[in-house]
Amino acid sequence: MLAKVTSCAVVGLDGALVDVEVDVSNGQAGFTIVGLPDAAVQESRERVRASIKNSSFSYPFKRITVNLAPADLRKEGPAYDLPIAVGLLMASEQLTADLSRALIIGELSLDGIVRHTNGVLPMAALARERGFDTLFVPASDAPEAALVPDLNVYPIETLFALVMHLQSMQPIAPYHPAHDFAPETAPAYATDFAEVRGQEHVKRALEVAAAGQHNLIMTGPPGAGKTLLARSFPSILPNLTLDEALEVTRIYSVNDMLPADSPLIRHRPFRAPHHTISHAGLVGGGRWPHPGEISLAHRGVLFLDELPEFDSRSLEVMRQPLEDHIVTISRAQGSLTFPANFLLIGAMNPCPCGYYGDPIKECTCSLTNVLRYQKRLSGPLLDRIDIHIEVPRVDYEKLSGDRLSETSDKIRARVEAARARQRQRFAGTKLQCNADMGPGEVRKYCVVDEAGKNLLRAAMQQLQMSARAYHRILKLARTIADLAGCDKIEMPHLAEAIQYRPRKQAG
């Protein structure tokens, strides 16, 4: 007899329906799985066999054929165990159920317990999109699936429990999420901005960066507080909106990185990979491409400390994502696109010894070495960074004084207010913040008066700015105006934005 159950695969960050067809017929006993299965799917035979036996059902010693359709979609991982087992029980007439509007997902252990599966959120989203109303998922993944509204999500503990439910002998209650999305209390941050002494201009620049999601690079001598400032940056970031949280959660779900205690990522990610990271680790890759750090930092921060130490090829491949906010990875089998809309924070010393330009300690590098060090970052990469800021050494008075500066909470309140203005501006569009604006939006929302135009013209000539830099300055000025609560971009806003562009380098 033939039985059909629907399950789901994940391609990139999206779900794709998979029909699991199981045929049990007379003939030489055997178990074959066809339809481009990988090794883990092939091993499914053993798990299904054992879990059927150990759940007190009988395993048919007949000719069993499982087809996973469509055949051209590669099937990865163990998530097809449960649908195969259910199909097998139906095909061997041990179970009758109408599963035409249900999706089944889950890995089985040998004793019939249903185990956690990656990527349940995109699968649930697909189920809803395609008009399925019922989802059978591993019990531990039910909260994640229930993030998608209007679905009956059944948490399944064991194969036996699912069969009992399908036969209406011991119905399982659908999972109802206990909580709504509410802006939660901020997590405990390692350091507060109040504890960073001096560096007020750097804090201001970081506030602007957070408000409009602008990229920023800090240059300064060792021990000036660059790493400290970057690490305390999450404490002034605005909260995620629900839509953003779902976007981020999808990426973490597919990468199997969701925290055990919460199905939803509620705080902006902060990723700080070490400079020895591989090309594929940074932008994504692998034979079956997985999201890299730039996608894991989506809607959050990618902090690259000691920027010139990173492999220059890896940095160059970030150029396209920095502009388009997505990354496309091509393979022989086709290409995949992952979101990568992140805020880049870089930190670096001005030269190998670290003291070039320092007023107190003399730099011991030759000019050639300084130039070579600075050249490790290419012009096109630097052009994509809106805010270039110097972090000089802090003097003793500031460092030893008791005066605490502004707390992160206060700064974050201003950042939130500026974000609220942006959300209002972009309501009904896909944009979230000023950095997302394209040339069309820049023309519409970043209007400057005649005096402003003159200032921009002078700056363009003096700093030899590119067209990109011109647009980036306007977006940055828009954010500075938003922070000030102004509808119009005024001269001081423009002047501050221009001041963040890079000065001439050494030489």
Ligand X SMILES: Nc1ncnc2c1ncn2[C@@H]1O[C@H](COP(=O)(O)OP(=O)(O)OP(=O)(O)O)[C@@H](O)[C@H]1O
- Whose Cβ is closer to ligand X: residue 165's or residue 204's? 204
Kindly determine how many residues on this chain lie close enough to bind Mg ion according to the rule CB under 5 A: 1
Contact flag: residue 227 with Mg ion (CB under 5 A): yes
- Whose Cβ is closer to ligand X: residue 158's or residue 374's? 374
Contact flag: residue 351 with ligand X (CB under 6 A): no
Helices (H) and strands (E) in the chain, counts: 20, 18
Q: Which stretch binds ligand X (CB under 6 A): 71-79, 102-110, 218-226, 488-496?
A: 218-226
Contact flag: residue 118 with ligand X (CB under 6 A): no
To ligand X, the closest distance from the beta carbon of 235 in angstroms equals: 15
Radius of gyration of the chain (CA): 28
Q: Which stretch binds Mg ion (CB under 5 A): 142-150, 209-217, 220-228, 429-437?
A: 220-228
Nearest-10 Cα torsion for 242, 243, 245, 247: 160
- Whose Cβ is closer to ligand X: residue 6's or residue 349's? 349
Q: Which stretch binds ligand X (CB under 6 A): 223-231, 243-251, 335-343, 381-389?
A: 223-231
State CA 450 to chain mean position distance.
41
Outline where 213-344 has alpha helix (H). Answer: 226-232, 242-254, 279-283, 293-296, 312-316, 319-324
The greatest distance separating any two alpha carbons of the chain, rounded to the nearest whole angstrom, comes to 89
Contact flag: residue 226 with ligand X (CB under 6 A): yes
Alpha carbons 293 and 311: distance in angstroms, whole number: 15
- Interaxial angle between packed helices 467-483 and 200-212, expressed in degrees from 0 to 180 and rounded to the nearest 10: 100
Q: Which stretch binds ligand X (CB under 6 A): 83-91, 190-198, 236-244, 436-444?
A: 190-198
Supply angle C-alpha 257, 319, 283, rounded to 5: 25
Of 198, 238, 291, 339, the one binding ligand X by CB under 6 A: 198
Contact flag: residue 228 with ligand X (CB under 6 A): yes
312: left (phi over 0), alpha (psi -120 to 50) or beta: alpha
- Whose Cβ is closer to ligand X: residue 395's or residue 449's? 395
Residue type, 29: A
CB 16 within 8 A of CB 126: yes
225 binds, among Mg ion, ligand X, none (CB under 5 to 8 A by kind): ligand X
Q: How many residues does the chain have?
A: 507
To Mg ion, the closest distance from the beta carbon of 122 in angstroms equals: 37
Residue matched to tokens 């070490």: 274
- Whose Cβ is closer to Mg ion: residue 37's or residue 392's? 392
Letters for 140-179 (x = contact with ligand X by CB under 6 A, - = none) are ----------------------------------------
Give me the sign of the Cα torsion angle 86, 91, 94, 95: positive
Q: Which stretch binds ligand X (CB under 6 A): 81-89, 193-201, 435-443, 455-463?
A: 193-201
Kindly determine how many residues on this chain lie close enough to bind ligand X according to the rule CB under 6 A: 15
SS (H, E, C) 452-495: HHHHHHHHHHHCCCCHHHHHHHHHHHHHHHHHCCCCCCCHHHHH
- Whose Cβ is closer to ligand X: residue 154's or residue 355's? 355
Residues 383-412 that bind ligand X (CB under 6 A): 394
- Whose Cβ is closer to ligand X: residue 382's or residue 394's? 394
Of 27, 70, 171, 223, the one binding ligand X by CB under 6 A: 223
Residues in contact with ligand X by the rule CB under 6 A: 196-199, 220, 222-228, 347, 349, 394
